Amino acid sequence: MRTQVAIIGAGPAGLLLARLLENAGIDVLVLERRAPDYVLGRIRAGVLEQGTVDLVEQAGVAARMRAEGLPHEGIELQFDGDPLRIDLRQRSGGKQVLVYGQTELTRDLMQARAEAGTASVYEAEDVTLADFDTAHPRVTYRHGGATHAVECDFIAGCDGFHGVARASVPARAIELFERVYPFGWLGVMADVPPVRDELIYAHHARGFALCSMRSRTRVRCYVQCPLDTDIADWSDARFWDELRSRLDPSVAEAMRTGPSIEKSVAPLRSFVAEPLRFGRLFLAGDAAHIVPPTGAKGLNLAASDVRYLAEALVGHYRDKSDAGLDGYSARALARIWKAERFSWWMTKLLHSFPEDGAFDRRVQRAEFDYLAGSAAAQTALAENYVGLPV
């Protein structure tokens, strides 16, 4: 079998890259080790920067996103119940974000591939990457009881933090930077209306809380919790009571609750791999970096990686120029580290760290008060939240 670009991973990063390349006439094969239902069952965030929205438009899969996505012009921060609204549009020169679930975007991309007759290979087992340090990379995999070999020009590793792509790189060729946070998020999804039209990020002595949404009738809410939290110990009633205790009383009183349709604990980490190119293998998305979800950067960073990589590959095939490929790693990492910094800052401001004492709490409060009184600080937050230039 022969293709121009083999894409490992059929999450939103891999599918979006495939769509952009195929729109440019580049032959693509997408391999995914999980079944489609498993991929769609992953519960992820969905706050899209304007640059991500524009890229989805460019890919030609934005119809449902335009119809169902919720534009947000601001976010609310709270510190021990004291509210502060950040006007994203005013502070960022007219930009905003769009709330549209990552699962829904993945579904749209899957449907577009199916309609175009370019179906991905799901449940591909024992995927192996070889010879990507030569001019003739190869990928082998098992599917349907048979072993398949694929010759290609390039390999794009979009298969997530635990995927085979980054694991195939020799340890001496890659440097890993990581911070694991000493807490997680206990999240609940429920079919009730959001308590506000915009997201609420709350700091409280008991821990962080977030009121988010997937639609006008479905919420996704979180409370900070220890890493060893057992969700079996958390009834729906206990979760909603804990969430209310960490919010402004007026918000807590107005909140509508209901039975959970999903409940899980997610650990938080910051992670970056450098570089992102190894011969003809390129890493993108969660294979290359992880950010705490506090700053809503995970999917958006994956989208900017995909933008850069798609432009570079189109430049190779259409313009016979490898300048984009040669500069991909440095270009992507420059934006990745800025997003890592912002996500770390939001996490540090809004969470209770086990090692922190009274001094640290006072500094957090001073940071919040400075933000509340400084147009410049609010502008910096808004510019990062809506997305730095790509």
Among residues 100, 181, 222, 385, the one annotated as catalytic is 385
Where are the chain's structural domains?
A: 5-43+101-178+269-347
Among residues 72, 204, 289, 351, the one annotated as catalytic is 72
297 is catalytic: yes
Residue 119: predicted pLDDT: 77
- On whether the CB atoms of residues 275 and 287 are closer than 8 A, the answer is no
The answer to whether residue 46 scores a pLDDT higher than 90 is no
Give, in degrees to the nearest 5, the angle at Cα 352 between 348 and 354. Answer: 110
72 is catalytic: yes
Among residues 204, 289, 297, 351, the one annotated as catalytic is 297
Closest CA to 130 of 161, 160, 169, 162: 169
263 is catalytic: no
292 is catalytic: no
Residue 42: predicted pLDDT: 78
249 is catalytic: no
Among residues 201, 222, 308, 328, the one annotated as catalytic is 201
* CATH number for the domain formed by residue range(s) 5-43+101-178+269-347: 3.50.50.60
Packing angle of the helix pair 12-23, 102-116 (nearest 10 deg): 40
Q: What is the pLDDT of residues 170-183, one digit of tens each?
A: 999 999 999 999 99
Among residues 12, 141, 293, 316, the one annotated as catalytic is 293
Closest CA to 211 of 246, 262, 250: 246
- On whether the CB atoms of residues 151 and 140 are closer than 8 A, the answer is no
Rounding to the nearest 10 degrees, give the CA dihedral for residues 283, 15, 298, 248: -170
> Residue 219: beta bridge partners?
190, 213
The answer to whether residue 383 scores a pLDDT higher than 80 is yes
- Name the token pair of 190: 């429920």
Residue 44: predicted pLDDT: 74
